[in-house]
Amino acid sequence: MTALSAAPTTRQRQARALALAPALAITTGALILPALVMVAYSLFAYVPGKITDYTLTLGNYARLFGDSFYLRVLANTVEMSLIVTALSLVLGFPVALFLARTTPRLRGLLAYLVFLPMMVGIVVRAYGWMVILGREGLVNSALLKTGLIDAPIRLLFTRDAVVLGLTEVLLPFMIMPILSALEKIDPHVEEAARALGASPAETFWRVTLPLSLPGVVSGSLLVFSLSLTAYALPALLGGARVKFIAALAYDAMLVGYNWPLAAAIGVLMSAVASAVIYLYLSALRGR
């Protein structure tokens, strides 16, 4: 290619190592090593009143898999994450399709509006949902005014509130990959299908949709893994009634100070999430 990259001198190799050093130090020191420490912790015995006891045991995992409470919360989290993923797909695909087909100017503005909520952060958006769904919130006051209900109904601290909030927060992660996939489709392919006699609906079902599949797959897996490990939003919109698996890790870690058990929950979550990421990457590679 170029002189710089074709024949690296010792000095250039040093320069590269030097350039990569700070970032690699951060990722290794603050991500890889702590992850290994977490795995180690999950194998330590828990002695009440003592943060760490270095006796090795599989007891934490035995407790997780032996206690129906933990498994029920995990199953519940997986179930709700599947619903959130399906809803995000149903809502996200039309948006991505519209963005891919509209004028460049409008696309720029609308893409910015997808991106903006992501930058605002989840705490503010969770609060927005509390204002909308609360006892005196937007929905209840509208329903009361129209006479559909006589007394405020409980919308907040329900499964539906958590599903709604998570869908809203994770929707951009669905829209962006699908939009990228749709933009990569050569317009000539669709034109060819139309020229060969396919109706617009047929063209969509047999050409556009299959070609957008990589985006659908990556968006779905991204949304699913983010939902599976959500903590803040379910805690705020679900209250004590709707527990996600991450809430159990938080409770074990910061309320019960049972760090080995918290670490085991963490390892379990990463195992499920890694399986998802592995699927995600192999699905991308398969295309």
Binding to other proteins in span 119-138, by CB under 8 A: 119-132, 134, 136-138
Stretch that binds other proteins, among 61-69, 72-80, 173-181, 190-198 (CB under 8 A): 173-181
Q: How does strand 44-47 pair with strand 50-56? A: antiparallel
Amino acid in the structure at residue 186: D
Nearer to other proteins, 29 or 66 (CB): 29
User: Shortest distance, CB of residue 75 to other proteins, whole angstroms?
Assistant: 18
Q: Please pick, from the candidates 51, 75, 189, 192, the single residue that binds other proteins as defined by CB under 8 A.
A: 51
Q: Please pick, from the candidates 54, 112, 146, 286, the single residue that binds other proteins as defined by CB under 8 A.
A: 112
Interaction of residue 149 with other proteins, rule CB under 8 A: no
Interaction of residue 61 with other proteins, rule CB under 8 A: no
Interaction of residue 184 with other proteins, rule CB under 8 A: no
User: Shortest distance, CB of residue 158 to other proteins, whole angstroms?
Assistant: 16
Q: Please pick, from the candidates 73, 166, 168, 212, the single residue that binds other proteins as defined by CB under 8 A.
A: 168
Interaction of residue 55 with other proteins, rule CB under 8 A: no
Q: Locate tokens 């803040």: which residue?
A: 232
Query: Which two tokens mark 128?
Result: 């927005």
Interaction of residue 264 with other proteins, rule CB under 8 A: no
Stretch that binds other proteins, among 22-30, 60-68, 73-81, 186-194 (CB under 8 A): 22-30
Interaction of residue 200 with other proteins, rule CB under 8 A: yes
Q: How many CA atoms lie within 13 A of 69 on its CB side?
A: 6
Dihedral angle sign, alpha carbons of residues 137, 138, 142, 145? positive
Amino acid in the structure at residue 109: L
Site string for other proteins, 203-242 (x = CB under 8 A): -------------------x--xx-xxxxx--xx------
Phi, psi of 240 (to 5 degrees): -80, -15
* 56 neighbors 43 (Cβ within 8 angstroms): yes
Interaction of residue 71 with other proteins, rule CB under 8 A: no
For 158-193, give the DSSP string: SHHHHHHHHHHHHHHHHHHHHHHHHHHS-HHHHHHH
Dihedral angle sign, alpha carbons of residues 87, 92, 97, 103? positive
Query: Which two tokens mark 59?
Result: 């007891």
Query: Which two tokens mark 83?
Result: 């619903």
